[in-house]
Amino acid sequence: MADRQQTDPAPQWWSRPEGTTEEGRREAVPAPRPGTGGEDHVQDAAPAPAPDVSAPAAPSSDVSAPDEQATDVSAPDEPVPTPDEPAAFPAVRYDPWGAEPLQVVDRGRTPRGIRLWQVVAISLGTALLAGGTGGYLGVLAERQSGTRLELPQAAGAADRGRAPESVAGIAATALPGVVTLHVRGTKGSGTGTGFVLDPQGHILTNNHVVADSQEITVTFSTGESVTAELVGRDSGYDLAVVKVSGVRGLRPLSLGNSDNVEVGDPVVAIGAPFDLSNTVTAGIISATGRPVTAGGDKGDGSDISYVDALQTDAPINPGNSGGPLLDAKAHVVGINSAIRGADKEDPTRQGGSIGLGFAIPVNQGKRVAEEIIRTGRATHPVIGVTLDMDYSGDGARVGDKGEDGKPSVVADGPGARAGIRAGDVITKVDGQRVRGGDELIIKIRAHRPGDPLTLTVLRAGRESTLKVVLGSANGS
């Protein structure tokens, strides 16, 4: 078997056996191949124990003795290359004196094929990445293109005008003439409503809105605010007039006829409930000729108002006072003045509107406003008698004595001229039933001074009718 010792580099890990000369070593071990790095590491290799080798290496021709020690060991069946042909499978040399392999190269785990779960994971990750990227690019493209999602909507109907008799049409007509009043007084501040009467700046409102006023500010529907002055007021009718100056483009409201109002007629109320200005509510006329009294905080009766009111279910709340009650033609038929709440003793009492609102008929308001604008005060129609307000029977009883011990029937007054006497019980006015003194006063004040009335009187168990012409007294 041929020896390739002359063609392969000398192993770096060989040590020089004892007794081997330098010349012998050169003869026995060929020089390393250029570029293998053996030149630098031969001297650094750690010496290893070696057997005694005294003879030089055998020539490269043949090995005659089978038991003769050789410098290289090859596989028995290894093919022998020719001189002109390199070895097809060069043998790997090893240290014949070492107990362990020369070196161990860690080439990692043996590569395996891709498993199914890896394929699924990669596919899923790729799909998620592609989906997220596509969605982001889609949103980005949509934003950049300026497209928007638009839902279907009916067109044209919102641009049309409202019918004049509709709530919206009435509100559009009346709102420019409705104002909000902010009043500061000695007892605090409050809010009310009013409406413009004429181009000169007169505004009608309730007396209880401005009764304690020191400063009055009027705010129009446009948001413009100006200071107003008090022209006059009357507590018996709960009406007052204020005036603004230097305001152009005033829109006075048209006054209707409250005598023509019927139960069931639609109405619209405008005001500033709880300082929410320009609030519009709607309802109907629930009743007419409803006797209502309000006020009486002073205790002497001088601040009580008596109203032959229009009743409505249009929501009215504090702050609506003095605002207009309008009919279907946007004409003022009443001045909103009072509401009825649940009894204070009722544990379920509801605050605010419960559908019982009351308005002063505009015919009465018109007369009072004209007198206040003209003279600064209003007159009251009277019959010239003092009533017994403690009488609990049916009807209004004429007292036995008047104030300060004076006669209960004023001498030469309207009642005396009609034949009324002390102790008479008045049960009807123009055929309408009267159940108490308050109702009699309300029925009389619903007329003008000088109007004739027919009174039904019960005297000594006998009923008779008397004709009376109303007199006049200055209001408070």
Cα–Cα nearest to 96, from 120, 72, 77: 72
Query: Annotated catalytic residue: which of 213, 277, 321, 337?
Result: 321
Of the residues 182, 202, 208, 331, only one is catalytic, namely 208
Q: What is the secondary structure of 95-129 as a DSSP string?
A: -TT-SS-S------SPP-PPPHHHHHHHHHHHHHH
For the chain, the first-to-last Cα distance in angstroms comes to 150
CA distances from 232 to 103, 207, 387 (A): 121, 9, 28
Answer yes or no: are the C-beta atoms of 457 and 216 closer than 8 Å: no
Give me the catalytic one of 238, 303, 313, 388. 238
Comparing CA positions, the residue from 193, 181, 195 lying closest to residue 333 is: 195
CB atoms near residue 358 (< 10 Å): 24
**Token pair recorded at residue 126:** 């790729």
Active-site residue, 300 included:
no
Is residue 256 within 8 Å of 306, Cβ to Cβ?
no
The β-bridge relationship of strands 332-339 and 357-361 is antiparallel
| Residue 238 annotated as catalytic | yes
Three-state SS at 209: helix
Q: Identify which of 283, 293, 325, 288 has the alpha carbon closest to the alpha carbon of residue 309.
A: 288
Per the annotation, the verdict on 208 as an active-site residue is yes
- As a whole number of Å, the CA-based R_g of the chain is 60
Write down the residue that tokens 């030149």 correspond to. Answer: 39
Conformation bin of residue 164: beta by default, left when phi > 0, alpha when psi is -120 to 50: alpha
Active site residues: 208, 238, 321
